[in-house]
Chain A
């Protein structure tokens, strides 16, 4: 089959504004959208620029807007999106070139929420014990690959780039609900900020966008509840 692939292009060295380029790409229904982008880069225009690495949905490099929805280009197949495909950079982050955006604001928010285990007790000689139920409590949010699909699908984040965004809250959740962690109070204070969890309007875009199937909105709600009752 042939796919009409429309790609939003922009190189600030030469362009004053972005434009859509259209490519006719030979494709198989089982091809990934990433395969189509590679076909263009490797056969038509070597300057087409995007990030990718693992190509099977684990490294989080190639989140982009595909037919209006945030997806990983390596995890969406042609048969799911049809023969008219429009690919654009993630919204809400500065575009550096074509589909490649500046990830620094995203990682800056992530770093704000103390995304690491806090436990100042002396470590035991072996493992800290944790029940299977306690381990299960935060399982969902450990799946995050920091691809930014959720954060850049959030209308609140588009309007206010100071908002931490869903991904940072997911990574706070991962530790707040870990029975081994002692940093919840500190983290919740950060998230109680005016740019914190209360800005979430539960539009569920983030949950729909997550390529790992994380229940992002639910995680944010759980953090809000923890704030209200100050217990986890």
Chain B
């Protein structure tokens, strides 16, 4: 039985962006938040280090410097108007959170405290600046909790553990008409009619094996949109965070280096001095990740296999560690049995953040082509979206900023849009496509499990589409993906029950990962230059003449089709990225 619901606004996902959007849209229209996890399980809660805003609470700063850092950090693929919006509105966004009860750390005079973070500088690169507002090393946790608390206060309508599997678009003009969701508790489908649909579903790091991402981060929102004709922007740009726990990939925040932590190779050398003489360990993440791999490749990695380096905080005041870095030092103790107050913590780069995703305007409206034609009623914000404020490489802390600033904009605009239009007509049998997909997936009495196919996807993506890429590796990955797709067509879902069928859920998730991995690999192979998080060993230099443009990957009958659109420039001319 398919149940029908009608709302003005439907928000998909309840991390920071979705919850921030809900606070705005539910003041403007009847809003439902549909989320496959309980809201507080969202991966916003894993963000650690902070949220940058040029409050200038502890030293001189202004939002124009923040804008410059964001654009330079993004290797000039950032849309400069969007970066200006984000960095200007950052200040109000932080104060908004504080007014909602966010427990920021404080300065001695009771203001919000700030600390250094990678790539954030004063006077356009002259030196590191204290810009990151934080709550110990659990800033994301506190933002998620604070936004959830405010939604409880406001009485937001949640559909917890409902998994959105399709976007409904009006048959006549393609505008958003609603979504189809699968209720985990019962296995039933629900059609939600809505005038505005907002995707805030987070990233898709689970296409890699070594990742800081949660199991839930399988790109469902972008995957749904991609299958319904929305192109994916800048998919080749994926961030590998320098400091993931060895073997596990669990994130150790850049805040460790912001507080004075140092990366060391097997000789104990603070090697970042050679790669970024000015800001050293606080260089942008793509540069630090490549530096780590260069150390490892040149034989200066530590450990029996020489395959990691150390994050060293042992010289910091133990009180600073306990007060400002308690969680990440506990991760090292719990998962590696290492005491960070005494010894270096083994780390490797870990797949962390998707710069690419659903293309939007600065008002969080989804656009459907290279001419930036808006798809009416469709919005996206947060990691699943590409505004693009992060360009080719996101600066640390700018993700929490992104979700709060653009989550708010999405909520405001979705609510206002809904007030001006009627519900679009649904086509016939709106849940039909999802019904058929689920029947197909569950229709094999034997075969290979999703887990086996997913593991092969992840291992291959790590090897062939990770920090270092080449034409040969990416070509191999395309071939591998074709084979993985064939295997996926015969996937076996062993659990046959209706309620909480997480076996079926994992199979569906894998489908989205495969689609998005293909878009990523095809986009990466085409881009014959190196920029930010996309590094081609066979094309190691940035090529502004040919490649200062966003890619758009669409799903065609004969594979992925690529298109390009210009980067929005305001006043920052591209220059060489040195730190």
Question: In the complex, which range does the number of interface residues on chain B fall in?
Answer: 35 or more
Selected contact of A127 from candidates B112, B215, B496, CB within 8 Å: B112
A163 interface contact, C-beta 8 A: no
Q: Write out the residue numbers on chain B whose beta carbons fall within 8 Å of the beta carbon of A119.
A: 99, 101
B135 near A142 with CB under 8 A, answer yes
B142 interface contact, C-beta 8 A: yes
Closest to B337 in A: A30
B503 near A46 with CB under 8 A, answer yes
In the bound assembly, the distance between CA atoms of A56 and B331 in angstroms comes to 8
A58 near B46 with CB under 8 A, answer yes
In the bound assembly, the distance between CA atoms of A115 and B110 in angstroms comes to 24
In the bound assembly, the distance between CA atoms of A53 and B43 in angstroms comes to 8
B426 interface contact, C-beta 8 A: no
A135 interface contact, C-beta 8 A: yes
Q: Which one, B67-75, B149-157, B163-171, B193-201, is touching chain A? A: B149-157
Q: A47-B503, A54-B214 are in contact. Are A180 and B41 (CB under 8 A)?
A: no
Q: Write out the residue numbers on chain A whose beta carbons fall within 8 Å of the beta carbon of B141.
A: 58, 143, 145
Query: Closest Cβ of chain A: how far from B474's Cβ, in Å?
Result: 28
Q: Write out the residue numbers on chain B whose beta carbons fall within 8 Å of the beta carbon of A11.
A: 497, 499
Selected contact of B214 from candidates A55, A114, A117, A146, CB within 8 Å: A55
In this complex, how many residues of chain A approach chain B with their Cβ under 8 Å: the count is: 61
Interface residues of A in 115-156 (CB under 8 A from B): 115-117, 119, 123, 125-132, 135, 138-139, 142-146
Query: Closest Cβ of chain A: how far from B265's Cβ, in Å?
Result: 24
Query: Closest Cβ of chain A: how far from B61's Cβ, in Å?
Result: 14
Interface residues of A in 21-39 (CB under 8 A from B): 30, 32, 38
Bitwise interface map of B from 326 to 337 toward A, beta carbon under 8 Å scored 1, else 0: 010001001111
Question: Can you list 22 A-B pairs with a CB-CB distance of less than 8 A?
Answer: A42-B449, A43-B449, A43-B451, A46-B493, A47-B495, A47-B497, A49-B495, A50-B502, A53-B41, A59-B41, A60-B40, A60-B41, A96-B500, A97-B497, A116-B101, A116-B153, A119-B99, A119-B101, A126-B95, A129-B110, A135-B104, A138-B103
Q: What 9 A-B pairs are tightest by C-beta distance, nearest first?
A: A117-B101, A46-B494, A42-B451, A129-B110, A47-B495, A116-B149, A46-B503, A116-B153, A53-B214
On A, residues with C-beta under 8 Å from B are 11-14, 30, 32, 38, 41-43, 45-47, 49-61, 75, 77, 96-97, 100, 103, 107, 110-111, 114-117, 119, 123, 125-132, 135, 138-139, 142-146, 175, 178, 180-181
On B, residues with C-beta under 8 Å from A are 37-38, 40-43, 45-46, 55, 94-95, 98-101, 103-112, 135-136, 138, 141-142, 145, 149-150, 152-153, 185, 214-216, 248, 250, 327, 331, 334-337, 449, 451-452, 492-503
